[in-house]
Amino acid sequence: MQAIDWTGHSLRLLDQTKLPATIEWVECHTYQDVAWAIRHMIVRGAPAIGASAAYGLVLAAQGCRHELSPAICQETMVKAAAELRSTRPTAVNLAWAIERMLRAGAGLTGDSLAVRLEQEANAIAMEDVEVNRAIGRFGAELVPNAARILTHCNAGALATVGYGTALGVVRAAVEQGKKVEVFADETRPYLQGSRLTTFELMQDGIPVTLITDSMAGWLMARGGVDLVIVGADRVAANGDVANKIGTYTLAVLAKEHQIPFYVACPLSTLDLSIRSGEEIIIEEREAREVTHVGGVPLAPEATRVWNPAFDVTPARLVTALITEKGLVYPPFDSKLMALR
């Protein structure tokens, strides 16, 4: 399953706001189209928005391919980078990909800039799938046969360029011949678990059972979960993990029930410039995501709402990080520094 498709002159994105009811693609011809698609969650998931932003910069460079003035071209690139970066604040992969692209294009202009940036965006996309496969291989060691795995949100192929991080671990375990069963948290309010994770796993024939977020504790108490695996949007130098709202609750529950809590984390999700999760900006989204489902109101009109899209799980609740370079156990600080 692939949600991102680069045609050479446009970026096609599988519209994740419409899944699973409708399979529809949105075609982006300009960097502004890509910024709009990221902001409106047509494409979502930390690695997927990073790769999309990279292609957004290719579109910006292609737009000024025939611009004779290097200064004007440079100005466009700076503007495009700023607009793409501002779309969503929490996932560091976005800034990581944009900075990598700007470094790749430094000193170039016109046609050579467009060609070089396209190469770099393709490399980011290709590496993402390789990284996810490596995360899968390392993570699969943690998955016993007949494991019941609880996951939150969607950290699968739809959230990446392909294969997935947390769901990459599930896929790798299945490829190794293990029988696994996944419990997918619904993931209120955006419902990435019920809309996307179930859809993606069912397409692959991997057994998945949907639960609402509030059922996770009781499922654990009944002995129904062997391990939890989630993705990440930004991991601080001390190992604190920002991920989809509700992840922290799961980590606390896992600790109480002595269930291992693993975080699949590509190195592009590491932010070693911040010491702890306290410095992570948590995106707050519009009230309507909480008050409405599919256009139907669930709360009285004008209800006051707080809608943080992410939370921070303290490193002390994380059993291990699963990276493409191997498993990282606490204490995280010096080990994470050594990885980059």
C-alpha dihedral sign at 175, 156, 5, 137: negative
Is 91 a binder of ligand MRU (CB under 6 A)?
Answer: yes
Whole-number Cα distances in Å, 277 to 5, 208, 270: 33, 31, 11
Interface region with ligand MRU, contact rule CB under 6 A, candidates 38-46, 69-77, 118-126, 323-331: 38-46
| Beta-sheet strands, E only, within the chain | 4-6, 11-14, 25-28, 147-151, 180-185, 208-211, 227-230, 234-236, 241-244, 261-264, 270-271, 292-293, 296-297, 310-313, 320-323, 326-328
Cβ-contact 55, 3 below 8 angstroms = no
Interface region with ligand MRU, contact rule CB under 6 A, candidates 135-143, 153-161, 254-262, 313-321: 153-161
Whole-number Cα distances in Å, 204 to 68, 149, 197: 50, 16, 11
Terminal C-alpha separation, the chain: 29
Among 197, 243, 291, 323, contact with ligand MRU (rule: CB under 6 A) = 243
Instruction: Write the interaction track for ligand MRU spanning residues 252-281; mark x where CB under 6 A is met and - where it is not.
Output: ------------------------------
Whole-number Cα distances in Å, 309 to 75, 131, 133, 287: 32, 25, 27, 11
Is 323 a binder of ligand MRU (CB under 6 A)?
Answer: no
Is 46 a binder of ligand MRU (CB under 6 A)?
Answer: yes
Is 192 a binder of ligand MRU (CB under 6 A)?
Answer: yes
Interface region with ligand MRU, contact rule CB under 6 A, candidates 41-49, 141-149, 178-186, 314-322: 41-49
Instruction: Give catalytic residues, as residue numbers.
Output: 233
Give the separation between CA 55 and CA 10, rounded to whole angstroms: 8
Give the separation between CA 91 and CA 302, rounded to whole angstroms: 30
- Please state the closest distance from residue 189 (CB atom) to ligand MRU, in A: 10
Cβ-contact 58, 237 below 8 angstroms = no
Interface region with ligand MRU, contact rule CB under 6 A, candidates 98-106, 133-141, 217-225, 229-237: 229-237
Task: Give residue 50's Cα distance to chain centre.
Answer: 9
How many residues bind to ligand MRU according to rule CB under 6 A? 17
Residue nearest to ligand MRU (CB): 231
Is 47 a binder of ligand MRU (CB under 6 A)?
Answer: yes
- Please state the closest distance from residue 220 (CB atom) to ligand MRU, in A: 20
Is 313 a binder of ligand MRU (CB under 6 A)?
Answer: no
Is 148 a binder of ligand MRU (CB under 6 A)?
Answer: no
Among 51, 159, 225, 315, contact with ligand MRU (rule: CB under 6 A) = 159
Under the rule (CB under 6 A), what is the footprint of ligand MRU?
Answer: 44-47, 91, 153, 155, 159-160, 165, 192, 231-233, 243-244, 309
